[in-house]
Amino acid sequence: MAKGGGGAMIGQVFSWLTDPAHWRDTALDTGITTQLLAHVRFSLIALGIASAIALPLGLFIGHTRRGTFLVAGANALRALPSVGLLVLLTVMIAPHFHGRTDIGYVIPTEIVLVLLAIPPILSNTYAGVDTVDPAVTDAARGMGMRGRQVLFDVELPCSLPLILSGLRSATLQVIATATIASFVPLGGLGRFIYDGLQQQDYPQMIGGGVLVAALAVTADLLLALLQRVTVSRGISGRFATKGDAPAGPIEGAITRVEVEAG
Amino acid sequence: MIRFEAASKTYPDGTIAVDALDLVAPSGQITVLVGPSGCGKTTSLRMINRMIDATGGRILLDDQDIGKVEPAELRRGIGYVIQHAGLFPHRTIIDNIASVPIMLGRKKKQARADAMELLERVGLDQKFAHRYPVQLSGGQQQRVGVARALAADPPVMLMDEPFSAVDPVVREQLQDEFLRLQGELGKTIVFVTHDIDEAIKLGDQVAVLRVGGRLAQMATPAELLSNPIDDFVANFVGRDRGYRALGFEVVGALPLEPEPTVALSSSFDQAARAAQDGWILVLDDARRPQGWLAVDDGPAPGSEAINPVTLRRGGTVADVDGTYRAVLDAALSSPTGRGVVVDRDGAFAGTINATQVVELIESRGVAS
């Protein structure tokens, strides 16, 4: 079946991935399962912190139209070189921690990942709230909704598609970039990529890459599912029967747009 | 009752949107604010529910200064309808309508049941209840907008060009149903439009504003047409004022002429024998006018019957209780010059020609 170097390599990657021994921890090696969980943990922490900062901030800026410069500023963060920043932060932070702890490496890694995740979440949340039809918010205020009700009962549900798509692109970037945790000596799926590269064990290196990609795709599918469940059909435009569907293109039905402002 | 007392709105850059407006919108009536763009009509309207705060003077709602009421609280007692309806895209139609009652703490189930009733009241089928705004046409959305504003049964309604974004045919339907609804509900309504015809059709009184936010004239539609206060109002009210003013006066006793008629089921020969000046009016079994038959057109091909295809159906039909305008139009639009007048059941009552109507108009003794 396998012909030539490329085909042989695919076979080797496949056998590396399917070898049960590679998934278990041993005295010498940490297995795929543990590294996968570590990777997920790094990513979730970063996404959690980034969302806790960027979601409320984006909602506030969109609702009040104040502080839009923050969105442009956050977008500038996208230009930071991740590995360079990681090295710099590690050099600055790691020496402050001693003993049997890797916290001195975890903190710089998470900072880099959080900085990476904030811009897409912030700018999409802001853009989502900002683009809600002014007639809709006017009607909401005109019927006596207070600011908080307008935000949570109207602006948030209307901007959910954009917010979630920001979260999805942040998730993809964080999962892909969390491999650099292994650049400073931490775990995660990046371990296989760096170790494979160092040991010229290419099946291991490519296998690690495949795992990162698979994790990213899985996470994206889960978020797509979340989007399907949480976004009102009136906004997504998904209607049960064709007869019910609106005739023209649906105004405001943005399913997957990433806004790159600034 | 809504009373503007020298209410003004000046923006920080010095632009005066509304200039010392004095105006009273009586309870249970429709007060229309009309004027060219930039006349401050929408600003004036939005000052009533404090979407815009007045910078001078005050506005009283039932003798209470609205400046002293918390805005959200004030707005919950005032229905608000805007140009593009502004329905919540993420909520179904029924939940859109129930928005305010639910916000005010009513049980969801009860609010939805009430909303269902309102849906019908504004002329929408209940099958729309669980659809989303995006699935409705502009006219249907606007009906929902009206239903939503009515849901908490507020005594006051503010309507900001609610019908101007729909096509003319739908607009006329919406206007007619709005008047029918208002006949049942008797709300205190302030209605903004840039369309003087809409103002004249809907208003119990019409306030014409001029650019710069000054009141030019406040009058009933008939008075506005017959007695515009100055050139600005006269120009704004537009052409055909004399003719349009006739639409506000009911004639009363009409000197009707008898007219020979035949039933649609009659033979052509019968019709031709009864005809006057070569024309005969054809009625259906309930004596409702169907059209004029020209004897020259002959019978239906290959039969002795009246040919329904050649009936002239173009003329308007006036009601015995009709206005001068309706009766005159019936005379002018009739192919025979004899205007068809029907009784309250729609049955033929008699005819009247344009000369007779004009004589009535000239002798009606309303000086102006």
Q: pLDDT at position A2, please?
A: 41
Domain(s) labelled CATH 3.40.50.300 in chain B stretch across 2-248
Cα separation values, A76 from A80, B155, B310, Å: 8, 53, 77
Minimal CA–CA distance to B43: which of B77, B76, B84, B11?
Answer: B11
Q: pLDDT at position B243, please?
A: 81
A70: Cβ–Cβ under 8 A, 6 or more apart, which residues? A57, A61, A122
Q: Which residues of B touch A235 (CB under 8 A)?
A: 89-90
User: Which of A11-15, A187-191, B215-219 reaches the highest mean pLDDT?
Assistant: B215-219
Pairing of strands B78-81, B156-160: parallel
Whether B99 and chain A come into contact, CB under 8 Å, resolves to: yes
Q: pLDDT at position A6, please?
A: 67
The answer to whether position A173 is within a domain reads yes
Provide the chain B residues 103-142 that lie in CB contact (below 8 A) with chain A.
103, 131-135
Number of domains chain A is built from: 1
pTM of this structure: 0.79
CA distance A156 to B327: 57
**Residue range B102-108: average pLDDT?**
94
CA distance A138 to A160: 19
**Residue range B187-209: average pLDDT?**
94
CA distance B120 to B124: 5
At A138, the pLDDT band (50, 70, 90 cuts) reads: very high
Beta bridge pairs of residue A69? none
In three-state secondary structure terms, B351 is strand
Share of chain B above pLDDT 70, in %: 99
Whether A133 and chain B come into contact, CB under 8 Å, resolves to: yes
pLDDT at B79 over 90: yes
Whether A241 and chain B come into contact, CB under 8 Å, resolves to: no
**Chains A–B, number of C-beta pairs less than 8 Å apart:** 87
CA distance A204 to A181: 17
For B90, the closest of A138, A142, A158 (CB atoms) is: A158
The answer to whether B158 and B80 are in contact (CB under 8 A) is: yes
Q: pLDDT at position B160, please?
A: 96
Shortest alpha-carbon distance between residue A154 and chain B (Å): 7
Minimal CA–CA distance to B35: which of B172, B205, B242, B194?
Answer: B194
The answer to whether position A146 is within a domain reads yes
Whether residue B89 and residue A232 make contact (CB cut-off 8 A), yes or no, is: yes
The answer to whether position A8 is within a domain reads no
**Residue range B5-9: average pLDDT?**
94
Residue A224, domain CATH? 1.10.3720.10
Question: Among the listed ranges A209-218, A246-255, B198-207, which one has the minimum average pLDDT value?
Answer: A246-255
Whether residue A142 and residue B91 make contact (CB cut-off 8 A), yes or no, is: no
Q: pLDDT at position B366, please?
A: 53
Q: Which residues of A touch B51 (CB under 8 A)?
A: 138, 141-142
At B51, the pLDDT band (50, 70, 90 cuts) reads: very high
Other Cβ atoms within 10 Å of B364 Cβ, number? 13
ipTM of the prediction: 0.80
Question: Which residue does chain A place closest to B89, by CA atoms?
Answer: A234
Question: Which residue does chain A place closest to B72, by CA atoms?
Answer: A144
The answer to whether position A121 is within a domain reads yes
**Residue range B266-274: average pLDDT?**
86
Whether residue A144 and residue B73 make contact (CB cut-off 8 A), yes or no, is: yes
Please, what is the average pLDDT of chain B?
90
For residue A109, the enclosing domain spans 31-238
Minimal CA–CA distance to A140: which of B207, B341, B250, B76?
Answer: B76
The answer to whether position A251 is within a domain reads no
At B220, the pLDDT band (50, 70, 90 cuts) reads: very high
In three-state secondary structure terms, B348 is strand
Q: Is the torsion defined by CA of A81, A87, A90, A95 positive or negative? A: negative
pLDDT at A39 over 50: yes
Mind listing the pLDDT tens digit for each residue in B316-353? 888 888 888 889 999 999 988 899 999 988 899 999 99
At A165, the pLDDT band (50, 70, 90 cuts) reads: very high
CA distance B17 to B326: 39
Shortest alpha-carbon distance between residue B193 and chain A (Å): 17
Q: Assign a CATH topology to domain B261-362.
A: CBS-domain (3.10.580)
Shortest alpha-carbon distance between residue A143 and chain B (Å): 5
Domain B2-248 superfamily per CATH = P-loop containing nucleotide triphosphate hydrolases (3.40.50.300)
The answer to whether position A201 is within a domain reads yes
**Residue range B119-136: average pLDDT?**
93
pLDDT at B272 over 50: yes
Whether B84 and chain A come into contact, CB under 8 Å, resolves to: yes
Tokens for B232? Answer: 């600005």
The answer to whether position A212 is within a domain reads yes
